[in-house]
Amino acid sequence: MLEQSQLHAIESHCTQESAPRCRTACPLDMDVRTFLECLAADRGREARKLLERHLPLPGIMTAVCDHPCENACLRRDLGGGLAVSSLEKFCMKNVPPQTKPLIRPPKKQSLAVIGAGLAGLVTAFDISHKGFSVTVHHEGGKEDALLAAFPSLDRASLAEELNALETFHVRFVQATFDEALLRQCSTDHAAVFVDASACALAPGRDDIDASTLLWKENICCGGWQSRTPTGAAYASASAQAGEGRRAGITIQRIMTGVSLVAAREGENRKNRLHTPLDGIPPLPRVLPAGEIYTAEEAGREADRCIRCSCMQCVKECPFLQKYKEFPRVYARKLYNNASVVRGTRTANVIMNGCALCGQCEEICPERFSMADLCLQARQDAVERDVMPASAHEFALEDMAQASGPESAFLLEDPSLADGDRHSRTMFFPGCQLAASRGDQVLAMYRYLRKTLPGGASLFSICCGIPAHWAGREKLFQEHAETLRRQWEACGKPEILAACSSCMSALRTAMPEAVITPLWTKLDELMPEPFAAAAPEAMNVQDPCGARHDKAWQKAVRSLASKAGIRVEEAKRTGEESACCGYGGLVWNAQPDVADALAKKRAGEFSLPVLTSCIMCHDRFASETETWHLFDILPQTASCGTHQEKDAPGLSARRAGRAALKEKALEEFLGEKPASRHDEEPIRLHIPEQVRIAMERRYILRQDVVTAICGMEKSGAKFINRDNGHILGSWRPRNVTFWVEYTADDDGSFTLVKAWCHRMVVAGATQPVEKVILEDKVHA
């Protein structure tokens, strides 16, 4: 399970929650983006509320602020930074005050401010609003210092703000600024703030601690002049106000006896938010026709805000879009999910919805990996035995079938069978290519045997990647060990893999093995162009498992080019390629996400698409014209099936693997199977729409056949007296299958519908005799 520190490290890679540049540029932490959003949506009251919440002395600040946010704005080169200053002025003038701060009885401690410049007044504002009384000392009139620094300030509104301050226990006292006053204040008050813009006693900015602005004892300073890049001095309202606020925090800590330095890192915000600007058209700044914006003009100007936000991974991934958040939040949810002891683990769906394809990591400027996060969460859930049983059960059963006696086989090159010699190469097609394209696998094997020096063996089995994806590391390791033993027994041949997931699983299982993509080897074996009945121009889908495998990607393009195909690169190829929805077993855990992934990716192709992974092919086939490399290669094209729009279903895949085994053993070893895999004990007809519905529920043809056989034998079934339909169930494993069918006159059966559930209900499963017995005992 993740430690909290690990969570924070992971979270920090997602910058979506980081402040936009306008906000990090503002020393007062003004939420400019939301302010603009409110104005653009004609929600002036909320906009004003934000000004009042973030800005001290809002009437003064909005009038004199030098708005560093406008320079920092990413719109700067796309029509000009947002006119935040003018919009704030518009808001203050046109929207009445929205908040009425609570005036609390003054606390015991008090603050003395020496110098009524902007920094001093901001400190007075912040501290008085925390309930401390404040005495502001000034030379001359109380407005003089501010008016000298900011001559454009309107006297009336200034007087109004200062009067408002007085209602918050702020007292203005005329005084002569000298050492005696400073000493007196330091003794009489809990803390003192010296405004450098109005009082010559203050030290230089470089002479005091920049993070606390503490000068000595209980005295803080702020309000210095700023310098332009050319060295001219000027009063920056935002900088001075920011210093007043920063000193105010220190002063409050002095008064409440809290560490002056602890947990203040957040005050120095950095620009971390990545905002992609591609495709954002320039829009010129809206200029007010009069002196100040009208509501309509303000709305239009505010609407120019590009609402800085990263979301680059989310824009590309239907899974990340599904739960309407972004990786940082997902990381937190998964962490909380893992901490649940009793209660509902609501983020299980997040953990199991990721295709583990790694695209987000490639797109993310900070390389945030949802795949690592989700895989770790799965492994943790499996270890603690809280993984939802149904999430990957079917996929793991499929792995068992592909690795079991029905389908798996290792065929040593028959020409080397006499003696102890082994072939130098091993063709590893992968269980899905075997399931989908058995005839082509055999054709390719014939070619490799004939062509490769030193012979070739054929190893058809699952590589174990489903176990890894399901978070079942123990199962993955056990499977890897089996593969390794068989590979060693074959004399450690070079492995030719036709599936990128197999490549990664095999590389983990046997790191010392030489594992080459089949396509790279074929590209070497076939230096000359060859004829292919393929489209003239195609897009290429790089499988997510091969996103870092440049050799794989290059070989596929080279073979395509030799076939006379002009490859036009689609959006996001190579490292940034998107998943078809097979990865990470999301097709099993959340078929809706898998379908959305396939649909989205298929929609990004403008030409027929060439795949080198059979699952990419099979998942895109119903969406767009899709070809697998086997469909264009001369060795395999003639027995191809690319014209079929629909890929084989789950039952057909299992049957396909079994058929491949039978054919291979018969062709190369002359072994006749005792019974053929496709010989069923009953004749069963499944209408196409019923078959499609079964696929969606992971009900296999074999399950239906066995259920009907069992029911017909035991008689444990129901009859519908209205239409003669027969209904019954069978529970071979953790699922109960229900089949409703008709017994036809010719002795065959027709399936009407099939459904399933996982709950156990006494009397609802075969063998019914046993259940009834148990039932009676309980009764």
Partner 1 sequence: MSLEPNFTADDGDWICSRCGVPLEQIKVQALYMHSAFDVILPRCPSCGLTLIPQSLAEGKMAEVEALLEDK
Q: Which two tokens stand for residue 424?
A: 């130098």
In the bound state with partner 1, the residue whose beta carbon lies nearer, of 111 and 716, is: 716
Least distance in Å: CB of 321 to partner 1? 21
Site membership for partner 1, residue 421 (CB under 8 A):
no
Backbone angles phi, psi at 377, to 5 degrees: -65, -40
Which one of the spans 181-189, 284-292, 550-558, 720-728 is the region binding partner 1 (CB under 8 A)? 720-728
Name 24's Cβ contacts closer than 8 Å, sequence gap at least 6. 72, 269, 270, 271
Measured between alpha carbons, how far is residue 756 from residues 121, 458, 728, 742, 765 in Å? Answer: 72, 37, 11, 18, 11
Q: Which two tokens stand for residue 737?
A: 């299958």
Cα–Cα distance, 531 to 95 (Å, whole number)? 74
In the bound state with partner 1, the residue whose beta carbon lies nearer, of 49 and 753, is: 753
Site membership for partner 1, residue 652 (CB under 8 A):
no
Out of 263, 389, 674, 777, name the contact with partner 1 by CB under 8 A: 389
Count the neighbouring beta carbons within 10 Å of the beta carbon of residue 632: 25
Least distance in Å: CB of 345 to partner 1? 5
Q: Crossing angle of helices 327-339/370-383, nearest 10°?
A: 10
Site membership for partner 1, residue 396 (CB under 8 A):
no
Which one of the spans 128-136, 309-317, 426-434, 771-779 is the region binding partner 1 (CB under 8 A)? 771-779
Site membership for partner 1, residue 232 (CB under 8 A):
no
Q: What is the CA radius of gyration of the chain?
A: 37
Through-space distance between the first and last CA atoms of the chain, rounded to whole angstroms? 44
In the bound state with partner 1, the residue whose beta carbon lies nearer, of 615 and 771, is: 771
Q: Are 555 and 522 in contact (CB under 8 A)?
A: yes
In the bound state with partner 1, the residue whose beta carbon lies nearer, of 644 and 775, is: 775
Strand, helix or coil for residue 47 = helix
Out of 450, 761, 767, 770, name the contact with partner 1 by CB under 8 A: 761
Least distance in Å: CB of 335 to partner 1? 16
Count the neighbouring beta carbons within 10 Å of the beta carbon of residue 742: 16
Element housing 773 (H / E): helix 768-778
Site membership for partner 1, residue 758 (CB under 8 A):
yes
Out of 280, 683, 762, 770, name the contact with partner 1 by CB under 8 A: 762
Least distance in Å: CB of 352 to partner 1? 11
Strand, helix or coil for residue 110 = strand
Which one of the spans 74-82, 194-202, 302-310, 763-771 is the region binding partner 1 (CB under 8 A)? 763-771
Cα–Cα distance, 70 to 82 (Å, whole number)? 6
Which one of the spans 102-110, 227-235, 282-290, 384-392 is the region binding partner 1 (CB under 8 A)? 384-392
Least distance in Å: CB of 374 to partner 1? 16
In the bound state with partner 1, the residue whose beta carbon lies nearer, of 279 and 343, is: 343
Contacts with partner 1 by CB under 8 A: the residue count is 39
Binding track, positions 246-275, relative to partner 1; x by CB under 8 A: ------------------------------
Sheet strand arrangement including 626-628: 566-567, 537-541, 609-611, 626-628
Least distance in Å: CB of 735 to partner 1? 10
In the bound state with partner 1, the residue whose beta carbon lies nearer, of 159 and 773, is: 773
In the block, residue with structure tokens 């403008």: 606
- Amino acid identity of residue 284, one-letter, is P
Least distance in Å: CB of 738 to partner 1? 7
Out of 307, 719, 744, 770, name the contact with partner 1 by CB under 8 A: 719
Out of 720, 744, 748, 770, name the contact with partner 1 by CB under 8 A: 720
Out of 4, 723, 745, 747, name the contact with partner 1 by CB under 8 A: 723
Name 747's Cβ contacts closer than 8 Å, sequence gap at least 6. 683
Which one of the spans 106-114, 185-193, 387-395, 586-594 is the region binding partner 1 (CB under 8 A)? 387-395
Residues 322-381 that bind partner 1 (CB under 8 A): 343-346, 348
In the bound state with partner 1, the residue whose beta carbon lies nearer, of 569 and 744, is: 744
Name 438's Cβ contacts closer than 8 Å, sequence gap at least 6. 656, 657, 659, 660, 663
Site membership for partner 1, residue 689 (CB under 8 A):
no
Backbone angles phi, psi at 765, to 5 degrees: -135, 150
Least distance in Å: CB of 763 to partner 1? 4
In the block, residue with structure tokens 């599936």: 499
Residues 698-717 that bind partner 1 (CB under 8 A): 715-717
Cβ-based burial of 467 (10 A; exposed 0-12, middle 13-18, buried ≥19): buried
Least distance in Å: CB of 732 to partner 1? 16
Q: Which two tokens stand for residue 321?
A: 């879009």
Least distance in Å: CB of 724 to partner 1? 10
Least distance in Å: CB of 343 to partner 1? 7
In the bound state with partner 1, the residue whose beta carbon lies nearer, of 250 and 590, is: 590
In the bound state with partner 1, the residue whose beta carbon lies nearer, of 95 and 711, is: 711
Count the neighbouring beta carbons within 10 Å of the beta carbon of residue 311: 15
Which residues pair with residue 40 across a beta bridge? none
In the bound state with partner 1, the residue whose beta carbon lies nearer, of 249 and 589, is: 589
Measured between alpha carbons, how far is residue 721 from residues 38, 256, 718, 725, 727 in Å? Answer: 66, 84, 9, 8, 12
Name 155's Cβ contacts closer than 8 Å, sequence gap at least 6. 143, 147
Least distance in Å: CB of 722 to partner 1? 5
Q: Are 282 and 76 in contact (CB under 8 A)?
A: no
Site membership for partner 1, residue 722 (CB under 8 A):
yes
Strand, helix or coil for residue 229 = coil
Least distance in Å: CB of 779 to partner 1? 10
Alpha-helix residue ranges (DSSP H) falling in 340-437: 348-353, 359-363, 370-383, 393-403, 431-436
Which one of the spans 123-131, 429-437, 533-541, 761-769 is the region binding partner 1 (CB under 8 A)? 761-769
Cα–Cα distance, 333 to 349 (Å, whole number)? 11
The closest alpha carbon to 732, from 755, 752, 702, belongs to 702
Least distance in Å: CB of 421 to partner 1? 52
Handedness of CA 691, 695, 699, 700 (dihedral sign): positive
Binding track, positions 727-746, relative to partner 1; x by CB under 8 A: x-x------x-x--------
Q: Which two tokens stand for residue 352?
A: 């199991």
Which residues pair with residue 685 across a beta bridge? 750
Which residues pair with residue 738 across a beta bridge? 729, 755
Least distance in Å: CB of 356 to partner 1? 20
Site membership for partner 1, residue 777 (CB under 8 A):
no
Residues 74-113 that bind partner 1 (CB under 8 A): none
Site membership for partner 1, residue 390 (CB under 8 A):
yes
Least distance in Å: CB of 747 to partner 1? 18
List interacting residues with partner 1 (CB under 8 A).
343-346, 348, 388-391, 715-723, 725-727, 729, 736, 738, 753, 755-764, 768, 771-772, 775
